[in-house]
Structure 1
Amino acid sequence: MNSANDAASAFEILTHRSPLSNSEMMSKRNGVSTENRKIDDSQLDISDDSEKKPQTHKTLGQRLKAAVGSGRLENQYDEPAKNWREKIVRFLEVHQTKRASANRAENIVESFLFNDDLAPVEAGRRVWDWKQYVFFWISGSFNVNTWQISATGMQLGLNWWQTWVCIWIGYICVAFFVVVNSRIGNFYHIAFPISSRIAYGIYFSLWIVLNRVVMGCVWYSVQTYIGSQTISLMLMSIFGTDLEERIPNTMNTQNITTYGFMCFMLFWAAQLPALWFPPQTLRHLFTVKSIITPFAAFGFLIWTLKKSHGRLALGSLTTIHPTGSVLGWNFVISIMSALDNFSTLILNAPDFSRFAKTRHSSIYSQMIILPLMYAIISIIGILVTSAAYTMYGVNYWSPLDVLGRFLDHQTAGNRGGVFMIALCFGIAQLGTNIASNSISVGTDMTAILPKFINIRRGGYICAAISLAICPWNLLASSSKFTTALSAYAVFLSSISGVVCADYYVVRKGLIKLQHCYTNKPSSLYMYGTRFGTNWRAVLSYVLGIVPNFLGFLGSLDVHVPQNAMRVYYLNYFVGFLVSFTLYSGICYVFPVPGMPEGVGYFDFSRWFERWTEVEDFVEQRKKFEADVFEEEDEYTDEFSSTVEENIEANPKV
């Protein structure tokens, strides 16, 4: 909790309607006179001090004293702590400025269902217009990993133009999947953990989110280790290339030296300040990065071409010269490398699209700029690799390896140029790691344990876990690690296939927001069970993994048939399409609650997606939670502006 959150909490409490007015409203709705209705304050769990203006605490000391000291009430919903354990819990828990109900909503289940970080984004925080998404992908495209992916085709024996064609096809497919997954966040302003509740159920969505958290933490660690290599280049530019020998090595592993670990910790620490800021404010970081990094990229290309005297190795850079079906499958593998690399970002696209300012902010901009920028950065990487091959006779995957070779000649120009380009690469790596991994993991963790974790704390937890992963050990065999890590797209593609089928085919864009944040037994996304699980989604998800599983084992050097490996080469498409088709078919036979009524299952002429305003969502939710479902109104959500608009536009719904 920080002072800004305290101030927001105080503002909400001051402007919050009194319990009596809420009761009057509820009585009026139920046809009961307020004069004949007695209200028991103890039942409402509201203190006598609820009308007093709460005191905010700006410093950590003041907060600690208030939390574990006098036991004063922090707001109108709090009761005094009963013992020292509860005081400590009060201090550690995340203070929610948007209360989940009219009662004190601080227990684990209530905070899981609804919390500040997962609430629909109101207009004041929707500040990303199309330019921010353009800057986001410009900044995201310039990183070491993009250069490595662009070189995949050249490692498989393709020449430069064949590799570039693969890049275009791969990232056009990526842009399509990103836009498809972004729409639900763009129009309903909800994050990925909430969108997964709709298809998989309120409680099973935890497993889906956990998959994304695990991958996010691993990638954060790996990207941090790659970023540490830029720190190493900058230090070598200043102090000489023999730093690794001059600093005594006390590490008990062959995979990293003391110098390398120092560089890792420096880059790790440099990322910590960026984790403090809310996601919507990071658009400024993306803007700065998108201005700096293209100059560095083109400068690096021009410098490399000058050093090679314009000579480029435009053919295959390996001893492998594939032909026939081998060439075709290598072409496919090169295309799929882009999708495998993006599988995590595709899945959690709503985490960023929910900040869209308009209906189309995250749609057309991403569809155009994403493949364009990745193709531009990739051709730079291809040309740099080709030029470096003529100079050193080595097929380098990473631009950092090429920069390191420039330091073989210790001139002032070389040292200054390497330092500046490495600095830009470091900034690019930092921005990419925060945007792609830290924010995503932080958002997802708020869906797992929001009582004690918000986006900011989740980001710092991700950073702490990244140390325990020890990425230098994982990258000791880089090719196998990259293969196994990309193979996880098998699992993520199946998840995405179910989510898209549920939104586009089954529901046709019809979402009832209030039902996304409740565990009432008769609510839509509990699916009629206390386990809150949609068995149709789980079955489709599991069966979507099956066709790729043998190939996944084969990528880990287990002997499997060649045909199984060829299916696996198309892993993302196979996993997505199998789960998408199965879920659509199962829901045709066994319909899910909340589907549009009076509309044919295959009638796509009626579309129910609506831009939703959620300014009074918190108050609406309190009323919704206080309401009692009637048998005939089992799936009514009269307080959702989404459904009201759909009913007005489509009388049959």
Structure 2
Amino acid sequence: MTSANDAASAFEILVHKPTRENDDYLLSKRHGEGVTVVDSSGDEEAEEPPKSLWQRFVKAVKPEAQSPYDEPPKNWREKTVRFLEVTQHQRASNRRAEGIVESFLFNDDLAPVEASRRVWDWKQYVFLWVSESFNVNTWQISATGLQLGLNWWQTWICIWVGYMAVASFVAINSRIGNFYHIAFPISSRISFGIYFSLWIVLNRVVMGCVWYSVQTYIGSQTVQLMLKAIFGNNLEERIPNTMDTQNITTFGFMCFMIFWAAQLPALWFPPHTLKYLFTVKSIITPFAAFGFLIWTLKKSHGKLALGSLNDVHPHGSELGWNFVISIMSALDNLSTLILNAPDYSRFAKTRYSSIYSQLVILPVMYAIISIIGIIVTSAAYTMYGINYWSPLDVLGRFLDHSTAGNRGGVFMIAFCFGIAQLGSNIASNSISAGTDMTALLPKFINIRRGGYICAAISLAICPWNLMASSSKFTTALSAYAVFLSSISGVVCADYYVVRKGLISLQHCYSNAPGTLYMYGSRFGTNWRAVAAYVLGIVPNFPGFLGSLDVKGVPSGAMHVYHLNYLVGFLVSFLLYSIFCYFSPVNGMPEGVGFFDFSRWFERWVEVDDFATRRKQFEIDGVDPDNNEYTDELSSASVDNFRNDGKV
């Protein structure tokens, strides 16, 4: 303590009764010392929760009553800012609107999820992956092996291996969100540092916007089929084409905009309510998928092309590398969902709600939908002699015979696939991108606004060029997996090897000098993580250039690139572990050997009063979450924090 007055002030804070008068007095007493505190008491203490659907809607859209802490705007500029800024319910200061830095550190959307919003049990995660797997994109990825000359059973083995690997990575990345109830932007702060995590989050935002655009384009193809089923198969020719590209017509662009607009209402709903969307989609889409399978088999009279569907028949090392490419396509396909698994696992109701359920259901569901896609593609090959990589192409061929039954069947299946695409796009991309955007500029962006920004950006991506062929699409997937895999490797090494599950939540939301995740620098950057991340990209980079048709890339580099996700993950994982062994970071468990994994410090935390505890932490520097774990924390980091003037 620097003075008797500081000691008295801290004592009053710890023992005062939680009344509004005491809070105002203590806040004003500390205000002169530049300490920013959290006012979590709010102004809704006497407000009854909405009972009806209409009351919920009114509460969502009406402006909130002015808080006693609010100051009236002084001019038009302040009025504009007041209109645009996001109102925080867990107030982080004694003023109406926090600054950009303070809102970045702590805001409603990135705060640990309290018990009332942790409503996902194991069934919701099952519904999530049933919903996620039954979409057109899964069929297309499943067809990768068939496009490479593998037969049906070779392709299906690759799918099982690939998605079992995906399930393992998803379960590994889910634990930190499951136990500590934090989103991916916060978990990335722990390993990369408070401020460098912005770059990591930006990577995920970009990929989320790209994927949102791609899935919207796939969804638009279902709209094309529905309109053709109603108005005739020649509708595309009847609408004049004014587009200056070979990859999309005016009719196709119109359908793209229709599906894009149809998704906008769904972006309004908060993430924890999406369990109902998953449930509905999980009921509808499997019926459509199996109905499509039965219909295709009936049309082909049960005849399947069980061999290779290409003129090229690979053998030897070429066959082996085609196996690898097919397996890696599963990891490349879900590399974004692997990385931001905490965005969903933070809503877990129990300790293991998101762990074992995802580990089991994910490979099973993707294997089921993939074998349906393989059989449909094989049956269509016997009918049309073309190796279709998209089920929508096969469905479109059914309209060649424009009978009432064909038109009705195509419309219903296309409608169900459209719902599948909408659900997958909202769950996998808009919410992920929106959550990550709240870490970039939370003063003006929340999850809902981030979802709409993602939708707006998707218009400029021109996904029809990415989806022009199977090879172009898989090349784009592989390219970005190079960057995401090395990020995931660092995050996993930090959590499982370096910290052994020991996380200090209060430090995740503070930029005070000496806090654990500022890493002893005002730049808030962990150089070990940055170095491991960059070096993890290096082995894949020559092959990445080769995939872009750059001449002179050796075949060995291309083979490394074919293993892109595994190479990037393992290199970054090992390098970060080595760096931390020779240069330990603060926050590692005290008295535990680096290679001693007999003690595990992960624990389930309750965070319902997290904002109040953050207030205490910001004032006196004592982390209430870790009072009973002081022997397990780095004593050096605690001393540094206190010596920097917080206490």
**Aligned match of 1:194 in 169, 174, 186?**
186
**Correspondence 1:639 to 2:639:** no
In 2, Cα distance between equivalents of 1:453 and 1:438: 13
Matches of residues 190-229 of structure 1 in structure 2 within 5 Å?
190-229=182-221
In 1, Cα distance between equivalents of 2:263 and 2:587: 43
**Correspondence 1:177 to 2:162:** no
Q: 1:594 corresponds to which residue?
A: 587
In 2, Cα distance between equivalents of 1:295 and 1:60: 35
Q: 2:102 corresponds to which residue?
A: 110
In 2, Cα distance between equivalents of 1:297 and 1:335: 23
In 2, Cα distance between equivalents of 1:645 and 1:625: 19
Instruction: State the one-letter code of the partner of 2:449.
Output: R
In 2, Cα distance between equivalents of 1:528 and 1:42: 29
In 2, Cα distance between equivalents of 1:38 and 1:268: 51
Shift of 1:650: 10
Going from structure 1 to structure 2, the CA distance change for 1:649 and 1:557 (only over 3 Å counts) comes to closer
Find the residue that maps to 1:446 and give its secondary structure: helix
Find the residue that maps to 1:407 and give its secondary structure: helix
Shift of 1:87: 1.1
Shift of 1:477: 5.3
Shift of 1:482: 3.2
Going from structure 1 to structure 2, the CA distance change for 1:129 and 1:503 (only over 3 Å counts) comes to same
State the superposition RMSD in angstroms.
2.8
Q: 1:466 corresponds to which residue?
A: 458
Q: 1:498 corresponds to which residue?
A: 490
Matches of residues 129-208 of structure 1 in structure 2 within 5 Å?
129-208=121-200
Q: 1:247 corresponds to which residue?
A: 239
Matches of residues 13-24 of structure 1 in structure 2 within 5 Å?
none
Going from structure 1 to structure 2, the CA distance change for 1:547 and 1:649 (only over 3 Å counts) comes to closer
Q: 1:272 corresponds to which residue?
A: 264
Going from structure 1 to structure 2, the CA distance change for 1:322 and 1:151 (only over 3 Å counts) comes to same
Matches of residues 173-572 of structure 1 in structure 2 within 5 Å?
173-476=165-468, 479-559=471-551, 560-572=553-565
Matches of residues 118-129 of structure 1 in structure 2 within 5 Å?
118-129=110-121
In 2, Cα distance between equivalents of 1:43 and 1:597: 33
In 2, Cα distance between equivalents of 1:52 and 1:40: 16
Q: 1:18 corresponds to which residue?
A: none
Shift of 1:58: 5.2
In 2, Cα distance between equivalents of 1:349 and 1:60: 27
User: Would the aligned equivalents of 2:329 and 2:474 in 1 still touch at CA under 8 Å?
Assistant: no
In 2, Cα distance between equivalents of 1:308 and 1:444: 47
Find the residue that maps to 1:567 and give its secondary structure: helix
In 1, Cα distance between equivalents of 2:209 and 2:352: 31
Instruction: State the one-letter code of the partner of 1:238.
Output: I
Instruction: State the one-letter code of the partner of 2:456.
Output: A
In 2, Cα distance between equivalents of 1:51 and 1:586: 44
Going from structure 1 to structure 2, the CA distance change for 1:485 and 1:62 (only over 3 Å counts) comes to closer
In 2, Cα distance between equivalents of 1:55 and 1:30: 25
Instruction: State the one-letter code of the partner of 1:298.
Output: F
Find the residue that maps to 1:550 and give its secondary structure: helix
User: Would the aligned equivalents of 2:590 and 2:632 in 1 still touch at CA under 8 Å?
Assistant: no
Shift of 1:53: 8.0
Shift of 1:423: 0.7
User: Would the aligned equivalents of 2:100 and 2:442 in 1 still touch at CA under 8 Å?
Assistant: yes
Find the residue that maps to 2:214 and give its secondary structure: helix
In 2, Cα distance between equivalents of 1:110 and 1:160: 55
User: Would the aligned equivalents of 2:590 and 2:634 in 1 still touch at CA under 8 Å?
Assistant: no
Shift of 1:257: 1.9
**TM norm structure 2:** 0.90
In 1, Cα distance between equivalents of 2:372 and 2:523: 51
User: Would the aligned equivalents of 1:484 and 1:556 in 2 still touch at CA under 8 Å?
Assistant: no
In 2, Cα distance between equivalents of 1:365 and 1:529: 40
Shift of 1:191: 0.1
Find the residue that maps to 1:447 and give its secondary structure: helix
Identity %: 77
Q: 1:8 corresponds to which residue?
A: none
**Aligned match of 1:74 in 56, 66, 76?**
66
Going from structure 1 to structure 2, the CA distance change for 1:411 and 1:98 (only over 3 Å counts) comes to same
Q: 1:581 corresponds to which residue?
A: 574
Count of residue pairs the alignment pairs up = 610
Shift of 1:436: 0.8
In 2, Cα distance between equivalents of 1:407 and 1:616: 59
Going from structure 1 to structure 2, the CA distance change for 1:53 and 1:301 (only over 3 Å counts) comes to closer
Matches of residues 52-91 of structure 1 in structure 2 within 5 Å?
63=63, 74-91=66-83
User: Would the aligned equivalents of 2:437 and 2:446 in 1 still touch at CA under 8 Å?
Assistant: yes
User: Would the aligned equivalents of 1:610 and 1:646 in 2 still touch at CA under 8 Å?
Assistant: no
Instruction: State the one-letter code of the partner of 1:626.
Output: I
User: Would the aligned equivalents of 2:542 and 2:558 in 1 still touch at CA under 8 Å?
Assistant: yes
Q: 1:69 corresponds to which residue?
A: none
Cα deviations by residue, 1:34-55 (Å, 9 ceiling, x for unpaired): 99x9868497499xxx999899
Instruction: State the one-letter code of the partner of 1:463.
Output: A
Instruction: State the one-letter code of the partner of 2:88.
Output: Q
User: Would the aligned equivalents of 1:199 and 1:537 in 2 still touch at CA under 8 Å?
Assistant: yes
User: Would the aligned equivalents of 2:590 and 2:631 in 1 still touch at CA under 8 Å?
Assistant: no
Going from structure 1 to structure 2, the CA distance change for 1:157 and 1:251 (only over 3 Å counts) comes to closer
**Correspondence 1:623 to 2:608:** no
In 2, Cα distance between equivalents of 1:165 and 1:515: 45
In 2, Cα distance between equivalents of 1:478 and 1:76: 59
In 2, Cα distance between equivalents of 1:61 and 1:647: 45
Shift of 1:62: 6.9
User: Would the aligned equivalents of 2:171 and 2:358 in 1 still touch at CA under 8 Å?
Assistant: yes
Shift of 1:260: 1.1
Q: 2:602 corresponds to which residue?
A: 609
Shift of 1:545: 0.4
**Correspondence 1:28 to 2:3:** no
Instruction: State the one-letter code of the partner of 1:639.
Output: P
User: Would the aligned equivalents of 2:42 and 2:91 in 1 still touch at CA under 8 Å?
Assistant: no
In 2, Cα distance between equivalents of 1:398 and 1:525: 46
User: Would the aligned equivalents of 2:156 and 2:370 in 1 still touch at CA under 8 Å?
Assistant: yes
In 2, Cα distance between equivalents of 1:613 and 1:409: 61
In 1, Cα distance between equivalents of 2:285 and 2:392: 15
Shift of 1:81: 1.8
User: Would the aligned equivalents of 2:289 and 2:372 in 1 still touch at CA under 8 Å?
Assistant: yes
- Gap regions ≥5 residues in structure 2: 1-6, 48-56, 637-647
Cα deviations by residue, 1:336-367 (Å, 9 ceiling, x for unpaired): 00001111110000000000000010000000
In 2, Cα distance between equivalents of 1:596 and 1:114: 25
Shift of 1:258: 1.9
User: Would the aligned equivalents of 1:507 and 1:595 in 2 still touch at CA under 8 Å?
Assistant: yes
In 1, Cα distance between equivalents of 2:600 and 2:168: 20
Going from structure 1 to structure 2, the CA distance change for 1:357 and 1:60 (only over 3 Å counts) comes to closer
In 1, Cα distance between equivalents of 2:95 and 2:384: 69
User: Would the aligned equivalents of 2:305 and 2:382 in 1 still touch at CA under 8 Å?
Assistant: yes
In 2, Cα distance between equivalents of 1:228 and 1:446: 28
User: Would the aligned equivalents of 2:590 and 2:633 in 1 still touch at CA under 8 Å?
Assistant: no
Instruction: State the one-letter code of the partner of 1:496.
Output: S
Instruction: State the one-letter code of the partner of 1:599.
Output: V
